[in-house]
């Protein structure tokens, strides 16, 4: 038996842990681009901010897109609710609220991540320390995941947690792909051609897939392949299809556990179907941007529906 408030806490705790990790990846990709290009770094940082979904808030605070400003805003600025520090704070706040649902190891890993990052992000980050800080963020979130997978009972607590993780991850991947694609693909006629562009790597890097891409596809970056990889590849752990495989799985566990199906099950099935039918070509034909914005909207709707069906409030 699980309190609705705790289901909500578990869901958001995991969304924010996932968000913190993805934010670090995004900054990492931006940093890499800035280092490998002699000019136009500002453009790359601007696209990082847009991918993070923080361009409006950023614009209210800064005019220029410099490494220092962007990394400060996305990593340490607690006035930005999606910054790494704010995300970890929110994750810990939720973890504290659902403390009784977590194993000691899981709680301690979150608490320790919070303590470590609070210390590390207390002062503005020296550009030279940025790689170390980004590594530390990824390591802390990896430790949380390890403690979580290693010690948590596979029950409803686990299911609601995983729903948070995969709904957030799917949202993040869809956003990155949508934003970057716009920036990178000057015209639709370029689809299918081979582009010699460092920037393609940054999409893959921001989802930690720049190496695995080559294991699956050919060595060159092709727009269709990249989209296929991030949307339809069922084995790529950050692809939309992968995320939805698990969203469905955990919703099904809940349905079995509680002997009840809800509207959210139908919503999830609908989205899953959208990913299963057709090929990447069909998606391009209908318009990638339209597909992705539609997905993001439906994904958000699923989150709301889960909250409603399982009495989060």
Q: State the Cα–Cα distance between residues 232 and 169, nearest whole angstrom.
A: 14
Q: Which of residues 153-182 bind other proteins (CB under 8 A)?
A: 156, 160
CA atoms within 13 A on the CB side of 239: 21
Q: Could you say whether residue 5 binds other proteins (CB under 8 A)?
A: yes
* Spatial contact of 81 and 100, defined as CB atoms under 8 Å apart: no
Interface residue with other proteins, options 36, 64, 115, 286 (CB under 8 A): 115
Q: Could you say whether residue 3 binds other proteins (CB under 8 A)?
A: yes
Q: How many CB atoms lie within 10 A of CB 128?
A: 7
Window contacting other proteins (CB under 8 A); options: 110-118, 141-149, 195-203, 223-231: 110-118
Q: Could you say whether residue 253 binds other proteins (CB under 8 A)?
A: no
Interface residue with other proteins, options 258, 285, 286, 308 (CB under 8 A): 258
Nearest to 81 by CA among 19, 9, 174: 19
Structure tokens at 307: 């909250």
Q: State the Cα–Cα distance between residues 242 and 238, nearest whole angstrom.
A: 7
**Per-residue mark of binding to other proteins, 86-105 (x: CB under 8 A):** -------x--xx-xx---x-
Structure tokens at 112: 């320790």
Window contacting other proteins (CB under 8 A); options: 3-11, 13-21, 178-186, 265-273: 3-11
Nearest to 49 by CA among 89, 78, 85, 83: 83
Structure tokens at 146: 């390890």
Q: How many residues bind other proteins (CB under 8 A)?
A: 24
* Spatial contact of 66 and 44, defined as CB atoms under 8 Å apart: no
Nearer to other proteins, 58 or 107 (CB): 107
Distances (CA, A) of 297 to 167, 238, 239: 12, 18, 17
Residue 249 CB, nearest distance to other proteins (Å)? 17
* Spatial contact of 41 and 71, defined as CB atoms under 8 Å apart: no
Residue 239 CB, nearest distance to other proteins (Å)? 29
In this structure, the chain runs to a length of 313
Q: Could you say whether residue 2 binds other proteins (CB under 8 A)?
A: yes
Nearer to other proteins, 1 or 277 (CB): 1
Q: Could you say whether residue 16 binds other proteins (CB under 8 A)?
A: no
Residue 129 CB, nearest distance to other proteins (Å)? 24
Q: Which of residues 191-210 bind other proteins (CB under 8 A)?
A: none
User: Residue numbers of the site for other proteins (CB under 8 A)?
Assistant: 1-5, 7, 93, 96-97, 99-100, 104, 107-108, 111-112, 115, 156, 160, 254, 258, 260, 310-311
């Amino acid at each position: 038996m699980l309190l609705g408030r705790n289901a909500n806490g578990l869901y958001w705790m995991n969304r924010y842990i996932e968000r913190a990790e993805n934010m670090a990846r995004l900054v990492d990709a931006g940093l890499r681009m800035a280092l490998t290009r002699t000019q136009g770094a500002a453009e790359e940082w601007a696209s990082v901010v847009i991918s993070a979904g923080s361009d409006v808030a950023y614009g209210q605070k800064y005019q220029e897109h410099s490494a220092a400003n962007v990394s400060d805003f996305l990593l340490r600025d607690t006035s930005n609710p999606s910054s790494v520090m704010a995300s970890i704070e929110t994750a810990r706040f939720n973890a504290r609220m659902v403390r009784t649902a977590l194993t000691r190891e899981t709680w301690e890993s979150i608490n320790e991540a919070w303590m470590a990052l609070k210390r590390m992000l207390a002062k503005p980050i020296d550009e030279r320390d940025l790689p170390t800080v980004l590594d530390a963020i990824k390591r802390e979130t990896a430790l949380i995941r390890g403690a979580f997978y290693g010690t948590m009972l596979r029950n409803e607590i686990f299911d609601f947690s995983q729903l948070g993780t995969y709904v957030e991850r799917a949202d993040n991947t869809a956003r990155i792909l949508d934003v970057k694609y716009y920036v990178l693909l000057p015209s639709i006629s370029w689809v299918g051609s081979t582009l010699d562009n460092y920037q393609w790597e940054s999409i893959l890097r921001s989802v930690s897939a720049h190496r695995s891409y080559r294991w699956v596809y050919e060595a060159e970056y092709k727009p269709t392949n990249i989209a296929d990889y991030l949307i339809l590849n069922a084995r790529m752990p950050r692809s939309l299809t992968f995320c939805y495989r698990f969203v469905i799985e955990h919703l099904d566990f809940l349905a079995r556990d509680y002997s009840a199906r809800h509207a959210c099950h139908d919503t999830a099935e609908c989205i899953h179907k959208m990913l299963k039918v057709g090929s990447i070509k069909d998606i391009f034909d209908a318009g990638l941007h339209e597909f992705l914005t539609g997905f993001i909207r439906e994904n958000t709707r699923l989150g709301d529906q889960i909250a409603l069906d399982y009495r989060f409030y």
